[in-house]
Chain A
Amino acid sequence: MAELQYFWQITVAGLGTGLIYGLIGIGFAIVLNVSGIINLAQGEFSMLGAIMTLYALQVLGLPIFAAIALAVTVVTILGVAFERLCISRLKVFSIQTAIFITLGASMFARGGAMVAWGKENHSLPAFSGHGAVSILGAAVPLQVFWILGIAAAVIAALYWWFNRTLFGLAMRSCAENRLGAEFVGINVRLMVTVSFAMSAALGALAGIVAAPLTFVSFDGGLILGIKGFVAAILGGRGSYLGPVIGGLALGVLESVSAGYISSTYKDSIAFAVLILILTLRPNGLFGRWAAR
């Protein structure tokens, strides 16, 4: 019985972090689907979101939700500025060049954050205290309910956006057939900018809501970004909400391997999963598209 209890506790913990991976994964998927670019700076949106919230909280003295709103807004603006100033200015656009630019941007953001906020770890207070609730014997931190609520709201909003609005449909059409979208009169470049805005906002939100469970540091975005990427790959190409399932699977897998083997290996397990999936199921678990 204690065994089962232990497993349940581990699983619940994994679901919490898994949702975060899922949110970051959706951010990846939106940019990837619309523009074809793998945004290697995706994790930095999360890091910047968390650090800026901390800054607004401690230095500007804003209340927590005002600080979050400010941080998400600033990161969204940074995401748009990055796309407008770096990606869409490319004289000769190529996906490869764009990906290298995002790599440069991620290093730049990490370095900038280190200079501005230092190398030490900071901690962001949980939104409603550090208490926990017991669910079937597993202690679930209150922050996890915030993660759950925000993830649910984001998923519902995105579902509505991509399935019920013409603008969201147009973003999907860019992913499917860029040339076709141009012929229909869709401003594909605008859609790419919008996709960066959305994924920056999502990434920031995910980083902020996750921060109280871990800590905030200038290089925290790197590993979050990679986990989000694995979630997106697991979720499958062309899928917008698949990364949530991918993220949950990864979160639980990590948590279980940390709980039964060793937490030292939990990151290697994420990469092993990435390699396995790319080898065996290149379209992910739920990918609708054929590899091309």
Chain B
Amino acid sequence: MLEVEGLVSGYGSVTVLRGVAMRVEPGEIVSIVGANGAGKSTLLRTISGLIRAREGRIRFHGVDIGGKAMHHIVASGLVQVPEGRQLFPTLTVNENLLLGAFARAAWQSRHALRRDLEKQVYPIFPILAERRDQLAGTLSGGQQQMLAIGRALMARPRMLILDEPSLGLAPLVVEELFSVVQRLRNGGMPSLLVEQNARAAAAFSDRVYVLRQGTVVAEGTGADMLRNETLFSEYLGTA
């Protein structure tokens, strides 16, 4: 579904990724874990088109998306829930969600999009339906993360990318979010996520890549990773 080969990328004269290869298959949740500065976020940003790769290929559903503009990538069904959520704080919950559909339905009436909201987002996050007219900036951290995911879902993605979804959230909320990602997977929507919390990520992912200094140093199923204590202490520094 998503295949990355020999990806070299970075900022300015700084090279962060030095030849990353990875893939996500249909029906999978794949996590990328690694210490700070390993290149996790850079990898996601390169995949979603925010930064341009210097070398290597990114294919989504067999189509080369490397170097394409972000709005083309979103329109092709690869949608990222960015780090820090990047919501529109003074727009309402409803407006934030509607904007999620922009790439596929810029000229559709807001009325038609409301029906999509009722079908695709509110059943998953009922709290957003309750808060629909509230400004996004007034939501709690967990609700904001739900809003960010809901907004991404409005694009009708074929695959979801989540950058640090658990950052700064209470464990119970994180569990709820993870269970949503699993439900989406079971419904046919794979996810790729980056997590600081490697153990939690390994516990609920199908496969895990360990990133270190811009290269993949280990790959395995979530269960494998959990069993491999040395991996955690050595590569992640979180014994």
> Is B108 an interface residue, CB under 8 A from the partner?
yes
Residues of A within 8 A of B113 (CB): 166
Which residues 187-217 of A have a CB within 8 angstroms of B? 187
Q: Is the CB of A180 within 8 A of B82?
A: yes
Of the listed stretches A63-71, A94-102, A170-178, A266-274, chain B binds A170-178
Q: How far is the CA of A176 from the CA of B136 in the complex (A)?
A: 12
Q: Is the CB of B90 within 8 A of A179?
A: no
Q: How far is the CA of A133 from the CA of B107 in the complex (A)?
A: 43
Contact of B82 among A165, A167, A183 (CB under 8 A): A183
Residues of A within 8 A of B91 (CB): 169, 172-173, 176
Of the listed stretches B92-100, B180-188, B213-221, chain A binds B92-100
Q: Is the CB of B70 within 8 A of A183?
A: yes
Q: Is the CB of B102 within 8 A of A180?
A: no
> Is B110 an interface residue, CB under 8 A from the partner?
yes
Nearest opposing residue in chain B for A176, CB measure: B88
Q: Is the CB of B99 within 8 A of A184?
A: yes
Give the number of residues in A that approach B within 8 Å (Cβ atoms): 22
Give the Cβ gap from A192 to chain B, nearest Cβ, in Å: 13
Nearest opposing residue in chain B for A167, CB measure: B106
Q: How far is the CA of A103 from the CA of B104 in the complex (A)?
A: 37
Give the number of residues in B that approach A within 8 Å (Cβ atoms): 35
Q: Is the CB of B155 within 8 A of A185?
A: yes
Contact of A177 among B70, B86, B100, B101 (CB under 8 A): B86
Residues of B within 8 A of A186 (CB): 71, 99, 102-103
A183-B48 contact given A169-B98, A173-B99, CB 8 Å threshold: yes
> Is A119 an interface residue, CB under 8 A from the partner?
no
> Is B151 an interface residue, CB under 8 A from the partner?
yes
Nearest opposing residue in chain B for A186, CB measure: B102
| A143-187 interface code vs B (CB 8 A; 1 in, 0 out) | 000000000000000000000111101101100110111111111
Q: Is the CB of A182 within 8 A of B87?
A: no
Give the Cβ gap from B14 to chain A, nearest Cβ, in Å: 17
Q: Is the CB of B90 within 8 A of A176?
A: yes
A166-B99 contact given A176-B89, A184-B151, CB 8 Å threshold: yes
Of the listed stretches B2-10, B15-23, B54-62, B72-80, chain A binds B72-80
Give the Cβ gap from B142 to chain A, nearest Cβ, in Å: 18
Residues of A within 8 A of B108 (CB): 166
> Is B124 an interface residue, CB under 8 A from the partner?
no
A166-B101 contact given A177-B86, A180-B88, A184-B151, CB 8 Å threshold: yes
> Is B105 an interface residue, CB under 8 A from the partner?
yes
Residues of A within 8 A of B81 (CB): 183
Residues of A within 8 A of B71 (CB): 182, 185-187
Residues of A within 8 A of B85 (CB): 180
Which residues 33-88 of B have a CB within 8 angstroms of A? 48, 50, 69-71, 73-75, 79-82, 85-88
Q: Is the CB of B87 within 8 A of A185?
A: no
> Is A130 an interface residue, CB under 8 A from the partner?
no
Residues of A within 8 A of B95 (CB): 169
A185-B82 contact given A176-B88, A177-B87, A177-B88, CB 8 Å threshold: no
Q: Specify which of A177, A184, A187 lies most central, judged by the most chain B CB atoms within 10 Å of its CB.
A: A184
A166-B87 contact given A183-B80, A185-B103, A187-B69, CB 8 Å threshold: no
A185-B75 contact given A176-B89, A288-B90, CB 8 Å threshold: yes
Q: How far is the CA of A180 from the CA of B89 in the complex (A)?
A: 10
Give the Cβ gap from A169 to chain B, nearest Cβ, in Å: 6
Q: How far is the CA of A170 from the CA of B81 in the complex (A)?
A: 17
Contact of B70 among A176, A185, A289 (CB under 8 A): A185
Q: How far is the CA of A82 from the CA of B188 in the complex (A)?
A: 46
Q: How far is the CA of A183 from the CA of B91 in the complex (A)?
A: 16
Nearest opposing residue in chain A for B48, CB measure: A183
Nearest opposing residue in chain B for A238, CB measure: B90
5 inter-chain pairs at a CB distance below 8 angstroms, sorted by A residue, are A166-B105, A166-B110, A169-B99, A176-B88, A180-B82
On B, residues with C-beta under 8 Å from A are: 48, 50, 69-71, 73-75, 79-82, 85-91, 95, 98-108, 110, 113, 151, 155
